[in-house]
Amino acid sequence: MSEGSEVAEVLGVDLHLELTGAGSRRAVLIRALREAVRSGRLAAGTRLPPYRSLAADLGVARNTVADAYAELVAEGWLSSRQGSGTRVAERVAVPEPEGVRRDAVRALPYDLVQGKPDPAAFPRTAWLASARRALTAAPNDAFGIGDPRGRVELRRELAAYLARVRGVRTVPDRIVVCSGAAHALRLLARVVVGRPWAVEAYGLPFHRGLLAEAGVRTVPVAVDEDGARVDEIPRGSGAVLLTPAHQFPTGGPLHPERRSAAVDWARATGGFVLEDDYDGEFRYDRRPVGALQGLDPDRVALIGSVSKSLSPTLRIGWMALPGGLVNGVVAAKGEREPYSSATEQLTLADFLGSGAYDRHVRRMRRRHRERRDRLVAVLAERVPEVRVTGIAAGLHAVVELPPGTERAALAAAERHGVAVEGLSGYQHPDAADHVRQDGREGPERRNGLVVGYATPPERLYGGALDALCNALDSALR
């Protein structure tokens, strides 16, 4: 390879172009570049490779590339400025992909959809410090094929942390790292088989959908202000999926008597309680109640993740499993770690062990409590027809609406630029027709909005609350 070619490769930016069709090399190159921009494959502002680099990659003369760039600059497809190279012009209009409606992807100004922490609140400096320490101390095998159980360093820290903060009784060998709650349910669905699962009448449709895809039939259990009616777990259920610390999304904690009853059911039937501890650390009116798992580690599997406390992009979750489920879950996961990065697992282990995670959670707990308090106060003052239900916890609250008004409230919210979800969308499709074991009909569909107060940056939160109040006022008057 010549010295000039080496320089061109070093300076280059990879760009895939198909030089096909009739015409000169210059004409074919112009056509390929124009099509790459028109299709949206080269977005506005994208910097193109220098003449020498692209010419070397394509096997054409440098002047051919220079002439093609100049032609497309003249046509308005590209722009060229001294010192910044050649870029795709900012004003080029790119059509949307077929089948995508503009209103389906339009972002509303105020995001009050539940379940999403503010991305700006991620503790970048502390996380970077942990990453540096973790990588410096990492053994060589951390960069090889991963253990499907997860890095032992993280499992040790998780066992200690969960025991200290959530009252979990486990050991590292009973912890399996996964990519989040959805991944945990997919794995458990391959192990706890043969019988239907009981689930709370209100919950994530996404979770019910993935269980259905895995062949698990779900049967709803009624929910009230004391959490799931565990005395109504259908006969023959192999597991019951609960959110004991903070029922999702209605917001009530599982009553102490019902916590004990859930464990008694599992012991008597040989079933398992699957505890989704999705936001157990975020309780604001008192210290968080310990995990249900602590009552019987052999019948309760605890599921947790950092998606609410840190960021869903980390894709790190965990299961503290009964001993009888560990081997099956590991086998279902596979022979190697295919999901969670070993380096991020090591970073989280350091983040937990150094106390940085505790400090971050305490900081976010204060922030979320203040956000929820503002929501409650503003609604009480401006829209007294509604009320915020559930305990002071988590990243969302349910705003209970008068019967028959949810659809109008959602439409008004969209008109006022507020992205928010309705409570009825979280109800199990069979819940309205469900007949309880005592012969009475199941719960009627409640009207409400599930308001996530964690996502908006501080500068937008006041505006989001104002827009929400205006929307509710217009829908209810």
Are 271 and 139 within one domain? Answer: yes
Residue 444 is predicted with a pLDDT of 56
Residue 103 lies in a domain: no
* Widest distance between CA atoms in the chain: 86
The CATH number linked to 61 is: 1.10.10.10
- Number of CB atoms found within 10 A of residue 377's CB: 12
* Bond prior to 249 in cis (omega within 30° of 0): yes
Are 342 and 367 within one domain? Answer: no
Q: Across the chain, what does the average pLDDT equal?
A: 89
- Out of 356, 382, 415, pick the residue that ends a domain: 356
Distance CA 454, CA 460 (A): 11
Are 137 and 187 within one domain? Answer: yes
- CA angle, 278 then 279 then 280, to 5°: 105
Are 145 and 283 within one domain? Answer: yes
Give pLDDT tens digits for 224-256.
999 999 999 999 999 999 999 999 999 999 999
Residue 348 is predicted with a pLDDT of 98
Strand ranges (DSSP E) for 194-337? 197-200, 218-221, 223-224, 227-228, 239-242, 272-276, 300-305, 317-320
- Number of CB atoms found within 10 A of residue 92's CB: 18
Residue 58 lies in a domain: yes
- Out of 294, 321, 356, pick the residue that ends a domain: 356
> Are the C-beta atoms of residues 382 and 469 closer than 8 Å to each other?
yes
In this model, does residue 97 exceed pLDDT 80?
no
Calculate the CA dihedral of residues 165, 170, 172, 177 and round it to 10 degrees: -70
Are 321 and 364 within one domain? Answer: no
Residue 85 is predicted with a pLDDT of 84
> Are the C-beta atoms of residues 176 and 186 closer than 8 Å to each other?
no
Distance CA 21, CA 24 (A): 9
pLDDT band per the 50, 70, 90 thresholds, residue 388? very high
Are 334 and 390 within one domain? Answer: no
Half-sphere exposure of 453 (CA within 13 A, CB side): 28
Residue 101 lies in a domain: no
- φ/ψ (deg, to 5) at 461: -65, -40
Are 339 and 249 within one domain? Answer: yes
- Number of CB atoms found within 10 A of residue 211's CB: 21
With the C-alpha atoms ordered 158, 162, 398, 395, is the resulting torsion angle positive or negative?
A: negative
- CA angle, 133 then 119 then 289, to 5°: 80
- Out of 324, 356, 388, pick the residue that ends a domain: 356
Q: Cα–chain-centroid distance for residue 68?
A: 44
In this model, does residue 328 exceed pLDDT 50?
yes
Residue 96 lies in a domain: no
Distance CA 426, CA 277 (A): 18
Are 167 and 114 within one domain? Answer: no
- φ/ψ (deg, to 5) at 217: -85, 130
pLDDT band per the 50, 70, 90 thresholds, residue 435? very low
In this model, does residue 287 exceed pLDDT 90?
no
Are 224 and 305 within one domain? Answer: yes
Q: Cα–chain-centroid distance for residue 406?
A: 25
Tokens of 431: 């819940």
Looking up tokens 């590292």 gives 172
> Are the C-beta atoms of residues 392 and 377 closer than 8 Å to each other?
no
Q: Which letter does DSSP use for residue 464 in this model? A: H
Looking up tokens 């019967």 gives 403
For residues 38 and 218, the model is more confident at: 218
Q: Secondary structure of the chain: what % helix, strand, coil (to 5)?
A: 45, 15, 40
Distance CA 94, CA 44 (A): 9
In this model, does residue 436 exceed pLDDT 80?
no
Are 464 and 395 within one domain? Answer: yes
SS3 205: helix
Number of domains in the chain: 3
How, if at all, do strands 317-320 and 300-305 pair?
antiparallel
Residue 438 is predicted with a pLDDT of 44
In this model, does residue 307 exceed pLDDT 80?
yes
Residue closest to 344 by CA, chosen among 183, 188, 177: 177
> Are the C-beta atoms of residues 431 and 209 closer than 8 Å to each other?
no
Residue 102 lies in a domain: no
Residue 335 lies in a domain: yes
Q: Which domain holds residue 19?
A: 3-88
Residue 68 lies in a domain: yes
In this model, does residue 146 exceed pLDDT 90?
no
Are 36 and 146 within one domain? Answer: no
Are 327 and 392 within one domain? Answer: no
In this model, does residue 443 exceed pLDDT 60?
no
The CATH number linked to 219 is: 3.40.640.10
- CA angle, 305 then 307 then 312, to 5°: 130
Residue 401 lies in a domain: yes
Q: What is the mean pLDDT of residues 146-158?
A: 95
